[in-house]
Amino acid sequence: MSAVHIENVHKSFGKLEVLKGVSLTVEAGQVVAIIGRSGSGKSTLLRCINGLETIQSGRIEVVGHTVTYTDEKLRALRKDVGIVFQSYNLFPHLTVGQNIMLAPRITKGVPKEEARAQAEKVLAQVGLSEKFDVYPDNLSGGQQQRVAIARSLAMQPKVMLFDEVTSALDPELTGEVLLVMEELARGGMTMLLVTHEMNFARSVADFTVFMHQGKVWEMGPSEELFSHPKTPELAAFVKSTLK
């Protein structure tokens, strides 16, 4: 069974149609990069997968959940699907450890000691073991983003979504976050990432999806897609981004 199945999805904001019949299937363990110009529908698609945006028509299935907009169904979906945004959204009044332990304790009822052990494990995974008792304001942007990734991992998701997670970071900090994502990919995590890091998409993602004007314009194995674009739109996009 595929991990993510998107079938003929349409999404509008008022009169503006942002997704125009998008279909996409992601197998378990695959890393899929979603690329395209600003306004092509990339981030909206990611938010629809996690039920953060409602769709007008079509169907989305994620690891056995059909995306349905009741509180109960959305809670169940989000236990299995983690999402990390460009903004870290960490609670400034809580330590790093407390930020990570919060969701498992509230949504899954995980006992405190177990939640702490899990938080320590995921912090080690992102290379920040020593930051457990530090407050977010005392971390760099890259460290905060890695904590945000750890917080999602603490829920033990089956699918991870990344929405332009490095776009607010300088190149050095971007590198440290991409390394964490690369490790996750090696570990077999199913991942969909909206990114403008073309070299990362090309080398780490199994497949790349190029979105244009609200549609999946072109998709295929990453190396092939970047090396031999089939449409003039993708060729122009690759040329403008891989300088």
Residues 6+ apart with CB under 8 A from 127: 146, 176, 180
> 32 forms bridges with which residues in the sheet?
192, 207
CATH assignment of 11-90+158-241, given 3.40.50.620, 3.40.50.300, 3.30.70.590, 3.90.1150.170? 3.40.50.300
Extents of the domains making up the chain: 11-90+158-241
Alpha helix (H) residue ranges in the chain: 42-49, 71-80, 96-107, 112-125, 141-153, 171-186, 198-204, 222-227, 232-241
Query: Pairing state of beta strands 81-84 and 159-163?
Result: parallel
pLDDT-derived band at 168 (thresholds 50, 70, 90) equals confident
What is the C-alpha separation between 133 and 97, in angstroms, rounded? 6
Q: Please, what is the average pLDDT of the chain?
A: 93
- Quote the pLDDT of residue 240: 87
**At which residue do the structure tokens 């979504």 appear?**
161
pLDDT digits (tens, 9 = 90+) for 29-79: 999 999 999 999 999 999 999 999 999 999 999 999 999 999 999 999 999
Q: Are 227 and 235 in contact (CB under 8 A)?
A: no
Q: Give the mean model confidence (pLDDT) for residues 146-172.
A: 92
- Quote the pLDDT of residue 108: 87
